Homo-oligomer: A and B are copies of this chain.
Amino acid sequence: MNFSVTVLGSGAATPTFSRHCSAQVVNLYGVKMLVDCGESSQNQLRQYHVKMQSIHTIFLSHLHGDHFFGLPGLLSTMHLCGRVEPLMVYGPPGIKASLDLLFQVSGTELRYELSVVELDFDGMRTIHEEKSFCVKAFPLHHSVPTYGYIFEEKPPLLNLRKGIRDRYGLTHDDCLRIKQGEDLQLPDGTLVPNSELTMPPRLPRRYAYCCDTAFADDLVEAVRGVDLLCTESTFDNAFQSLAEERCHLTAAQAAKLAREAGVGHLMLTHFSQRYKDIDVLLKEARDIFPETFAANDGLLYEIPSRLAN
């Protein structure tokens, strides 16, 4: 089952020739979700062949312009191009008032239903549920209210062992109960334990997006064990005090977070424009957490399935 991340923008603060402002598409079983929406995100969707109207839900980390200023244009273009499907936007307080005012002064009346859910809580909460996955949010540590997101598959059903259905003459409902973990009672009263009927399913996958944030211990628990962690990596160690002042991570801090949280892989993004070549950031992180790679605009990363041990 498809679970991928397409990076639309991987730069911090301002766009450059090679890196647009923050935006990603998370595709989970064909449900496409936009995460952050820096200026020109609508162009980047086109550039990387993601149909704009296929965007199902939008999650904004925070309202700094490089994560948000592409939203009014994208929503307008969806309207002008005939969208009728409803759209939901999640993010910190301020989105709704901003969009309302911009649509008012531009005389725009969207022809689709736009629902804006403004997040304002501590701790981890499930904010969005689909049949096969959910999205959780938790506060980050930045200069304005900011949320991290975890995209999490629901535990898959167990797999029936080969031939089980015919051997015991199982109905569809029998199969479903067994896949959900029940044992099987035969007509003679014998109990067949579930472990003899099923194979373990693949593990549910999780993707965490943490951008922008300073380092804090509670992040380690929040992202513990995710398959892929994407964090900002605005600076290298030489600018650690600047990173702290501006509530950003260095590459080393991002890697420390990944190591302590025991994540599968770390994707660095949100690079300061001062780095023409981000090798210094990548090396700094890999020295601490080798399973690190760097985002670039257009990168498509498939999160692989894993079987339980």
Contacts and interface: CB of A to CB of B under 8 A. Distances in A.
B39 A80 contact: no
Contacts of A93: 105
Interface in A51-66: 63-66
Contact of A39 (B13, B73, B98): B73
A15 B39 contact: no
B101 A98 contact: yes
Given A77-B14, A98-B102, A107 B40 contact: no
Interface string A93-121: 11101100110111110000000000000
A76 interface: yes
Nearest to A97: B101
A133 interface: no
Interface in A20-47: 21, 39-40, 42-43, 46
A94 B13 CA distance: 26
A42 to B, nearest CB: 7
A65 B69 contact: no
A191 interface: no
A81 interface: yes
B65 A108 contact: yes
A144 interface: yes
A15 to B, nearest CB: 6
Contact of A17 (B46, B80, B102): B46
A1 B12 CA distance: 39
A68 interface: yes
A233 to B, nearest CB: 18
B105 A63 contact: yes
A106 to B, nearest CB: 5
Contact of A144 (B15, B69, B107): B107
Interface of A: 13-17, 21, 39-40, 42-43, 46, 63-66, 68-70, 72-73, 76-77, 80-81, 93-95, 97-98, 101-102, 104-108, 143-144
18 contacts: A13-B77, A13-B80, A14-B77, A14-B80, A14-B81, A15-B42, A39-B42, A39-B73, A40-B40, A40-B43, A63-B105, A64-B106, A65-B102, A65-B106, A69-B69, A97-B101, A101-B101, A107-B143
